[in-house]
Amino acid sequence: MSNAAHPPRERLTETPPGVKLLPVAALQDPGARNLVLQIGDAYFHGFLVRTGEEVHGYVDRCPHAGLPLAQKLDQYLTPDKQLIVCSWHGALFQPKDGRCVGGPCAGARLTPWPVKVEGGYVVTT
C-alpha cells in the first residue's frame, strides 16, 4: 500500500442549473451560509447571502489572495451584517453585486454564483 498523497480534487467555479440548494427559511435575514457541492469527482465551494427576500450566491474565493473568505464556518458578514468580509485581509464586498468597496482588492468583484428563489427554495440558475 502506498502512502503517496492523493492528487487534489478539482475545485469548480460553477454549478449546473436547477440544483435545489436549501429552503430560503434556512438562511437568516440578513445572513450567510457556506455550501460545498460534490459534482462528479470535483467540488464547488460557494456561499449564499440573504438580505430580505433577495439571495445572492458567490464562489467562496477572495479575489485578493484566492483564499476562502471565512475562517469560521458561515462567518461571511461584518458584525452589523451589512457587508461581506474576507476574514484574512479585511476586504469588504457589497452583498448585492460582490463589488469590493474596501481593503486590498478595492474595485474587484467576487465571482457570482447564479441562484434564484423559486417555490421557497434557493436554486442554481
Predicted confidence pLDDT, tens digits, the chain (125 residues) = 444 566 667 889 999 999 999 999 999 999 999 999 999 999 999 999 999 999 999 999 999 889 999 999 999 999 999 999 999 999 999 999 999 999 998 889 999 999 999 999 999 99
* Residue 4 covered by a domain: no
Domain assignment of residue 23, yes or no: yes
Structural contact between residues 63 and 56, judged by C-beta atoms closer than 8 angstroms: no
Which CATH number does the domain housing residue 46 bear?
A: 2.102.10.10
Residue 3 lies in a domain: no
- The residues, ordered by sequence, that sit 6+ positions from 31 with a Cβ below 8 Å of its Cβ are 49, 50, 74, 77, 81
**Does residue 58 fall inside a structural domain?**
yes
In a domain, 80, yes or no: yes
Question: Is 100 within a domain?
Answer: yes
Domain of residue 46, residue span: 11-124
Per-residue cell: 19? 440544483
**What is the reported pLDDT for 4?**
54
SS3 assignment for 47-81: EEEEECCEEEEEECCCCCCCCCCCCCCCCCECCCC
Question: What is the total count of domains within the chain?
Answer: 1
The answer to whether residue 42 is domain-embedded is yes
Q: Please give the pLDDT value at position 76.
A: 98
CA distance 97 to 81: 15
88: in domain: yes
Q: Strand 42-51 vs strand 11-12: parallel, antiparallel, or unpaired? A: parallel
